[in-house]
Structure 1
């Protein structure tokens, strides 16, 4: 059975949600952040050198990195569900948005959060350029979700599982106002209606009300 090492309020929510979507059995090991530093606890550092979540165990295998874990679970336990095959007309779109989450969306949010916490002047060049980049990224997401109900197109896929964290739970660390992004807000409402998403969030983060608006 899969064992998920889950850090509360982190990207490891993706893995819990994925397993619920695939109706897989799994064991869930919870960890909590340090109340002062908000970093992961020593137990995770003992498990993996980077001390980050998610980490999964599957027999003798120990695997980190959420995107790698998602692909691994889909291929080895999910019979290829929630991904599009090379023959699908939206295959390239699926690949783009699957990798967009950790390639563009999450990194710019982390940069923006870090620069904000550095108390830089509002017109500091680094903060200004990062804010502009974030605006571009969110505008792209808004445009995409105005064209299709899900990131890859008409079908819910792992590309959605990869992107939702940055649009929801990440806002606990870096607040964002989505009032001018109606397509993003409508999309998050659709996600919030998924039974597997609700189950995954309840099991992984029972103290958290998902930020779906």
Structure 2
């Protein structure tokens, strides 16, 4: 039996979604973020030394990292329905998106979150204008242009097809869901990006996505 070590409001939600798409039985072990720090609880370190989510156990096998988990589950359980065959151009494109989502798209989104928190962090009154000014300057000069560059790129990629790998829904779309939902929550994804907005509407309407939300619980990235 697969166990998903599920942290609220985290990347592990898309692992639940993938398992619902696959129709594979699984169980959930839940963990809650610290309401003040928003960090994962130390109990997760008993599962994996980094103490982060997602992590799955499949029998005696433990695996972390979203892209690695998604590729493993798709290769083992999808019978080629959600991931292209190895050695094909489609598989190369799929693998690219599995790495791009975390390696390229998420870092500027994380920086946006950090500097937004710096702007509103409790600091001595005499330091607050300085901290707020620095955070605002970094966002305007570096973070926000980076976010726009990624949004423009992703919007253009969806100009080819309805999904990110050809005409069919795949694990690449599941992997990209988290950064795109983060872009919508705090990274500038708005009506100026109609293809990406339509993509989010399509994935949110999928029955497996809805079932994953019911099992995973509240899911907010704002």
Question: Is the shorter-chain TM-score for this pair beyond 0.5, marking a shared fold?
Answer: yes
- Give structure 1 regions of 4+ aligned residues with deviation exceeding 4 angstroms: 86-89, 169-172
* CA–CA distance in structure 1, aligned partners of residues 15 and 71 of structure 2: 10
* CA–CA distance in structure 1, aligned partners of residues 145 and 106 of structure 2: 15
- 1:146-204 per-position Cα deviation (integer Å, ceiling 9, x unaligned): 321111120111100101011225755x4644121111111111111211111112211
Aligned equivalent of 1:106 = 106
* CA–CA distance in structure 2, aligned partners of residues 20 and 8 of structure 1: 17
Q: CA RMSD in A?
A: 2.3
**Matching of residue 159 in structure 1 with residue 172 in structure 2:** yes
* CA–CA distance in structure 1, aligned partners of residues 78 and 87 of structure 2: 19
Structure number with greater Rg is 2
Checking the alignment, whether the CA contact within 8 Å between 2:3 and 2:56 is kept in structure 1 is yes
Aligned equivalent of 1:7 = 7
Aligned equivalent of 1:93 = 93
What is the Cα deviation at residue 133 of structure 1? 1.1
> Residues 209, 66 of structure 1: CA spacing in aligned structure 2 closer, same or farther, 3 A cutoff?
closer
Checking the alignment, whether the CA contact within 8 Å between 2:3 and 2:29 is kept in structure 1 is yes
* CA–CA distance in structure 2, aligned partners of residues 109 and 13 of structure 1: 18
> Residues 160, 177 of structure 1: CA spacing in aligned structure 2 closer, same or farther, 3 A cutoff?
closer
Aligned equivalent of 1:145 = 158
In the alignment, structure 2 segments of 5+ residues that lack a partner are 120-131
Aligned equivalent of 2:197 = 185
From 198, 201, 212, the counterpart of 2:210: 198
> Residues 208, 40 of structure 1: CA spacing in aligned structure 2 closer, same or farther, 3 A cutoff?
same
Aligned equivalent of 1:73 = 73
> Residues 151, 109 of structure 1: CA spacing in aligned structure 2 closer, same or farther, 3 A cutoff?
same
Aligned equivalent of 1:19 = 19
Q: TM-score, normalised by structure 2?
A: 0.85
Aligned with 1:29: secondary structure? strand
- Structure with the higher fraction of residues in helix conformation: 2
Aligned with 2:28: secondary structure? strand
Checking the alignment, whether the CA contact within 8 Å between 2:5 and 2:31 is kept in structure 1 is yes
| Count of matched residue positions in the alignment of Structure 1 and Structure 2 | 209
Aligned equivalent of 1:54 = 54
